[in-house]
Structure 1
Amino acid sequence: MVAAAGFVFAAVVYVLAVLTRAGQTIENAALRGADQDDVSETDAAWQALGQITVYSLAAAVVAVVLVGVLRKRWDLTIAAVGVIVAGQVVVQGLKRFVLPRPALVEVTGDYAHNSLPSGHTTIAMTVLFAAIIVVPWKWRGVVLFFVLPWATAIGQYTLTAKWHRLSDTLAADGIALALAALAAWWLQRKGALQPYTGPRRVGRVVLVVFWSLIAVVTLALGAILWVFPLAQEGLNADEWVIYLGAGSFASAGSLIAALTYVACWRRIA
């Protein structure tokens, strides 16, 4: 069900943002609004995104494999690595060969080509999901503490650096979640997952509650920044405000996808 919902969500995002004139206009306005961001924020975004390379991705895969080997769990290792690899195969295939971006509004240069889904956001989210799959139950809180903030920031940074549109990050969130859910479903059908009956980790509960509140706040902030300006000024709303709203929605999308997957693994070892 989660996998199906992730794929459907990505498809709906594509239809609304790419195949409609209003969607393209709003997202292009958000990209232009990013030009007004502080230079230090832009530099930080470029630096963070620049650290995601073939070599850093390979290092992440090696780390995942190492954890799986140390646990002597090849099934978890295959599932976790499969999520990362499948994520790039799917999004790059969709972006380069499958999904068109019709010219519904007059644009030039980088705004004209299709950039959905975001490869960087997919990398960040699939690495997070792979870590959740492969680490022992007691270490999932550590993953949430260190990896979740990074994965969430990457989605927002793609907008700040103008590498991607909001729809690119949201579609990547949906696809990454769907692939990770399929991996968990495969593990469950193999009998590789068991209920956890041990004590509750209070620190992890606090982290989940905290990030859930952040997700609600960022989602509400994005809605406020978009609904009122667009209702009053239509598609001519202030580009800076539209950009801020897009950034809030990007953060909310990554958080909701991550927390949904964590919920699927609740008390499962």
Structure 2
Amino acid sequence: MSTTAEHQPWSPPRTASARRTWSAVALGAAWWQLAALGVLYVVCVRTATGQRHENRLHTLALENRGSETGWLRTAFDLVDRLQPHHLVLGVAVVGLVGVVRGRLGAAVRGVVVAAGTLGVTELLKLVLLERPDLLEHSSSANSLPSGHTSAVLGLALGLLVAGPRWLRAPLALAGAAAAGAMGAFVIADGWHRVSDVLASALVGSIVLCLVQVLPHRGERRRGALVRLSLVVPAAAAAALVVVYAGDASLTTSYLLAGTVVALTVLAASLALPREVARRG
């Protein structure tokens, strides 16, 4: 007896045309955000006005360093103890989640997102980008993007990719909280400037879009991916306007930057393809 269409697992279109269209959308989303990252870098790092705004808040953070008490001080001390091997362990967990589920492709994509977000960040920060001395007593050390923020953001995005669809909502909420808190922390404690954290949000979204080009079985949602590529740059731009043009306080600044990072995780959870049922 033949199986009715209602009981057959849904299968995404596998035509060459459909794959090319999806790849073009994913690549376009990544390139658009890369352009936004370039604008962010030029405005905040390559101009004296941008550096002046950045240094004002950075100086405030350095002056207030160590003044936190209670649970906030405990959280700051915990972050201080993070080491590279913790990141390696986190990436391994991402891969293990996909392997345990029997989704090797998801495991690979999750690991690429997690490791790639930090890898691209370090390449940009240490090799490709520089911070010129445009002001008196200005530090020449480049800090854009933030490595700590990208590490936690990459792990959060990697778990979304490798994890099951039914766990995406709690994973997204937990990942948004963790990555957003890290983004806020590195500004509040004087490790990074606001633009460094916003740049990390863009890097994470760029890597996630690029990984969507890799083969996978899933219901691909072009509109959601496009929305991700629009939401993250728009949120970063809005945060910059409030923080720099509005001479925002240090607290407002790190809360806004952390919110942009958290929003990146939430928007990414909605942009990922829906997994389809296995045949058999």
SS of 1:185's equivalent? coil
Residue matched to 2:48: 21
Which residues of structure 1 form unaligned runs of 5+?
A: 197-211, 231-240
Matches of 2:52 and 2:143 in 1, distance apart?
A: 15
- Pick from 181, 188, 203: which aligns with 1:175? 203
What per-residue deviation string (whole Å, max 9, x for no partner) do you get for residues 127-174 of structure 1? 111011011100112202322201110011011111111111111110
1:147-166 aligned within 5 A: 147-166=175-194
Indicate the percent of aligned positions where both proteins have the same amino acid.
24
What per-residue deviation string (whole Å, max 9, x for no partner) do you get for residues 15-64 of structure 1? 11001111101111101122236422873463243243212112211211
Matches of 2:242 and 2:126 in 1, distance apart?
A: 34
Give the 3 Å change call, closer, same or farther, for CA 15–136 of structure 1 in structure 2. same
What root-mean-square deviation, in Å, do the aligned CA atoms of Structure 1 and Structure 2 show?
2.8
| Residue 236 of structure 2 corresponds to residue 248 of structure 1 | no
Residue matched to 1:199: none
Residue matched to 2:116: 86
SS of 2:173's equivalent? helix
TM-score, normalised on structure 1? Answer: 0.77
Residue matched to 2:142: 114
- Pick from 26, 30, 34: which aligns with 1:7? 34
Task: Give the Å deviation of 1:219.
Answer: 9.3
CA contact (8 A) 1:11 1:171 kept: no
Residue matched to 2:217: 192
Which residues of structure 2 form unaligned runs of 5+?
A: 1-27, 222-230
Residue matched to 1:59: 89
Matches of 1:257 and 1:130 in 2, distance apart?
A: 13
TM-score, normalised on structure 2? Answer: 0.74
- Pick from 164, 167, 192: which aligns with 1:136? 164
SS of 1:17's equivalent? helix
Letter in structure 1 aligned against 2:69? S
CA contact (8 A) 2:218 2:273 kept: no
Task: Answer with 1 or 2: which has the greater Rg.
Answer: 2
Q: How many residue pairs get matched?
A: 235
Residue matched to 2:69: 40
Letter in structure 2 aligned against 1:19? R
